[in-house]
């Protein structure tokens, strides 16, 4: 009997629950066989460590500053997720074809192999992406498939709120988060329910006896994740800015995100966070979400959401099930609030397109006059990659700024691939506002290192903190000493990630450069930590020996309550200073 096959090309949707691609194929009566395919794409992940792999294009480096595009932590997390998905699919009468190369090329080869086998190919399903590079790949895929009479079906499934349910056309997404949130919240319950998935899928279209699908990876079909991990991760150690904890990259027990990748772990985590214990951990979210240490202070769902190991609708369902039992609360509200930030960045990117990545950011569209000022030579400092390691950008990357709160956060990122939201805001503000370094250096560095990297959330947040995005208070700036006093009053977080400072008394842990030479010699081994900070701002001094109340429940993301008026002005730092409820200060130097 002739087989009719559809291919599900999985990308940032590595799951079988609430999986619209698999769902669509399952309900297509004409299709007899389902071929789930994952391609490790050489443009995103360096594949040269695989034995005999021949790269078609350049190394998988970030666009401007040449970091590995997918660093070691996300590479591991992704690989674990792919093989976890393969196991799950195998338990559902299916399988996952795993290949390495360029996505379009592999699809072409697989299609040819099916045709040669006498099969009919009906459609290729793919989750729609809206970032420019991915859209270009989709276009190429579409043209090669349509030339063969095959449909490319793109399904838009990344956001929580379906685009069809938005109370405005995507092209009119409000520029600022708060109006976006208010209009979406007015819709009522957030998001559609997750899809009901079949327990067994349509059979995998194996080729005739003895034949395997073409493309690099044939020899790995019978192998497991461990066989793939080591060669994949090996070239990624060739970098000056990441610190590995060991040759086999064990998970750092200090990490706030000590989890393996995959849908299995994602579902366990969501269940644990919303349903385990009485009351479950989410019941403290509002009070703990600005935490720095341990896995419990926030949901830790971002890495799973970014690669689609869990769907946002499944998270919302779990959250509303929790509310059915325990009632709605400030805690559950704030989780929804944060999930709307995720949707906001997804939709605002659809509106502003490639401006996500440009120096002038979204502001080039929303306020071209301001943007042109910030694009003039001299506004941002660069990074000479052949230059000294004492350049501010390098000290920031390597966690050697001499400001312990900044360095501890950078150490956490470099050694674990994760950093809290509080930490991200501080290190981003420090790089862009204190050191005045090009925000895209920070964004690309995060792109390389974060386990939970997502282009819209990462570049969107960097623009926001760097003052070129959609923050009505573009000059918002965090005082790292005050922040450390508020969120790490005993210096426990700093000492966890900067063991060189473990003997420094609490009174000086935020500002060790103030220690007298004899004290310094007593508490810090020579050469173990920078003697003076890369920069010292006058407004830090009043906070040097103050200890805050341990303010981990400060306002996190509702960054602007009453955006003040004030026309655009020229230089950095002009205008009246105000303190916002998230602990940052800003100059009222631009239009809200």
- Applying CB under 6 A, the residues found at the interface with ligand FAD are 289, 298-302, 305-306, 335, 338-339, 341-342, 345, 420-421, 424-425, 428, 446, 450, 452-454, 457-458, 461-462, 465, 557
Cβ-based nearer residue to ligand FAD, 454 or 488: 454
* Minimum distance, C-beta of residue 344 to ligand FAD, in the bound complex (Å): 7
Check: CB of residue 471 under 8 Å from CB of residue 378. Answer: no
Alpha carbons 574 and 568: distance in angstroms, whole number: 10
284: number of Cβ within 10 Å:
15
Cβ-based nearer residue to ligand FAD, 295 or 355: 295
* Minimum distance, C-beta of residue 342 to ligand FAD, in the bound complex (Å): 4
For 3, 123, 255, the CA distances from 153, given in Å and listed in that order, are 20, 7, 39
Tell me the sheet residues that pair with 4.
120
Helix (H, G, I), strand (E, B) or coil at 324: helix
Backbone angles phi, psi at 458, to 5 degrees: -70, -55
Which H helix or E strand runs over 36? strand 33-41
Cβ-based nearer residue to ligand FAD, 101 or 583: 583
Nearest to 420 by CA among 289, 327, 312, 325: 289
Alpha carbons 378 and 440: distance in angstroms, whole number: 15
Nearest to 370 by CA among 478, 438, 470: 470
Nearest to 509 by CA among 499, 561, 193: 499
* Minimum distance, C-beta of residue 334 to ligand FAD, in the bound complex (Å): 8
Cβ-based nearer residue to ligand FAD, 43 or 342: 342
* Minimum distance, C-beta of residue 501 to ligand FAD, in the bound complex (Å): 24
Backbone angles phi, psi at 39, to 5 degrees: -115, 120
Q: Using alpha carbons only, what angle is made at residue 400 by residues 398 and 405, rounded to the nearest 5 degrees?
A: 105
453 is in an annotated binding site: yes
Is the preceding omega at residue 279 within 30 degrees of 0, hence cis? yes
* Minimum distance, C-beta of residue 274 to ligand FAD, in the bound complex (Å): 11
Measure CA 374 to chain center.
26
DSSP 388-424: -TTSHHHHHHTT-SS-HHHHHHHHHHHHHS---HHHH
171 is in an annotated binding site: no
Cβ-based nearer residue to ligand FAD, 428 or 494: 428
Check: CB of residue 554 under 8 Å from CB of residue 289. Answer: no
56 is in an annotated binding site: no
165 is in an annotated binding site: no
Cβ-based nearer residue to ligand FAD, 114 or 465: 465
Nearest to 303 by CA among 335, 247, 265: 265
* Minimum distance, C-beta of residue 311 to ligand FAD, in the bound complex (Å): 12
* Minimum distance, C-beta of residue 434 to ligand FAD, in the bound complex (Å): 14
Cβ-based nearer residue to ligand FAD, 36 or 460: 460
Take residue 375 and report the two structure tokens written for it: 């694009």
Nearest to 71 by CA among 61, 63, 80, 81: 61
Cβ-based nearer residue to ligand FAD, 109 or 553: 553
18 is in an annotated binding site: no
Identify the burial level of 282 via C-beta atoms within 10 angstroms of its C-beta, where 0-12 means exposed, 13-18 middle and 19 or more buried.
buried
320 is in an annotated binding site: no
* Minimum distance, C-beta of residue 230 to ligand FAD, in the bound complex (Å): 26
Cβ-based nearer residue to ligand FAD, 306 or 504: 306
* Minimum distance, C-beta of residue 466 to ligand FAD, in the bound complex (Å): 8
For 65, 117, 356, 374, 563, the CA distances from 570, given in Å and listed in that order, are 28, 67, 23, 9, 19
259 is in an annotated binding site: no
What are the binding residues? 285, 298-302, 452-454
What are the binding residues for FAD? 285, 298-302, 452-454
């Amino acid at each position: 009997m002739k087989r009719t096959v559809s291919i599900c090309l999985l990308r940032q949707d590595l799951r079988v629950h609430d999986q619209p691609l698999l769902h669509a194929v399952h309900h297509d009566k004409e299709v007899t066989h389902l071929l789930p395919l994952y391609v490790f794409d050489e443009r995103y992940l360096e594949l040269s460590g695989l034995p005999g792999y021949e790269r078609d294009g350049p190394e998988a480096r970030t666009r401007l500053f040449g970091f590995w595009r997918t660093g070691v932590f996300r590479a591991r997390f992704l690989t674990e997720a792919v093989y976890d998905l393969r196991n799950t699919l195998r338990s559902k009468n299916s399988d996952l074809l795993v290949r390495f190369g360029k996505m379009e090329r592999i699809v072409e080869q697989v299609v040819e192999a099916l045709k040669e086998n006498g099969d009919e190919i009906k459609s290729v399903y793919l989750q729609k992406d809206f970032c420019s590079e991915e859209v270009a790949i989709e276009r190429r895929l579409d043209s090669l498939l349509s030339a063969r009479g095959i449909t490319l079906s793109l399904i838009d499934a990344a956001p929580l709120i379906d685009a069809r349910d938005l109370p405005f056309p995507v092209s009119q997404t409000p520029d600022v988060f708060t109006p976006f949130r208010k209009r979406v919240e007015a819709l009522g319950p957030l998001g559609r329910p997750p899809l009901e998935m079949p327990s067994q899928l349509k059979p995998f279209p194996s080729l005739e006896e003895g034949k395997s699908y073409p493309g690099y990876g044939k020899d790995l079909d019978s192998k497991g994740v461990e066989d793939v991990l080591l060669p994949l991760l090996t070239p990624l150690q060739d970098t000056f800015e990441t610190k590995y904890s060991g040759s086999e990259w064990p998970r750092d027990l200090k990490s706030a995100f000590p989890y393996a990748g995959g849908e299995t772990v994602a579902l366990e985590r969501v269940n644990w966070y919303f349903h385990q214990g009485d009351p479950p951990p989410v019941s403290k979210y509002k009070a703990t979400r600005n935490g720095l240490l341990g896995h419990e202070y926030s949901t830790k769902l971002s890495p799973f959401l970014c690669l689609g190991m869990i769907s946002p609708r499944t998270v919302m369902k779990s959250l509303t099930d929790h509310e059915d039992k325990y009632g709605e609360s400030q805690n559950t509200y704030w989780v929804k609030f944060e999930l709307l930030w995720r949707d906001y960045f997804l939709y605002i990117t659809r509106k502003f397109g490639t401006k996500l990545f440009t120096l002038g950011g979204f502001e080039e569209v929303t306020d071209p006059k301001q943007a042109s000022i910030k694009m003039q030579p001299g506004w941002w400092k660069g990074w000479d990659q052949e230059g000294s390691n004492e350049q501010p950008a390098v000290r920031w990357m390597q966690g050697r700024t001499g400001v312990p709160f900044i360095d501890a956060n950078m150490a956490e990122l470099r050694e674990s691939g994760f950093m809290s939201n509080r930490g991200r805001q501080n290190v981003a503000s420090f790089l862009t506002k204190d050191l005045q370094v090009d925000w895209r250096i920070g964004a690309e560095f995060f792109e390389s290192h974060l386990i939970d990297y997502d282009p819209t959330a990462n570049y969107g947040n960097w623009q926001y903190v760097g003052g070129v995005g959609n923050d009505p208070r573009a000059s918002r700036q965090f005082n790292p000493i005050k922040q450390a006093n508020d969120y790490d009053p005993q210096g426990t977080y700093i000492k966890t990630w900067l063991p060189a400072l473990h003997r420094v008394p609490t009174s000086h842990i935020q500002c060790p450069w103030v220690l007298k030479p004899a004290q310094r010699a007593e508490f810090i081994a020579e050469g173990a930590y920078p003697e003076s900070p890369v920069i010292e701002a006058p407004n830090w001094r009043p906070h040097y020996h103050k200890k805050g109340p341990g303010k981990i429940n400060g306002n996190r993301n509702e960054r602007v309550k009453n955006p003040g008026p004030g026309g655009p002005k020229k230089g950095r730092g002009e205008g009246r200073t105000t303190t916002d409820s998230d602990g940052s200060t800003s100059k009222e130097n631009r239009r809200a």
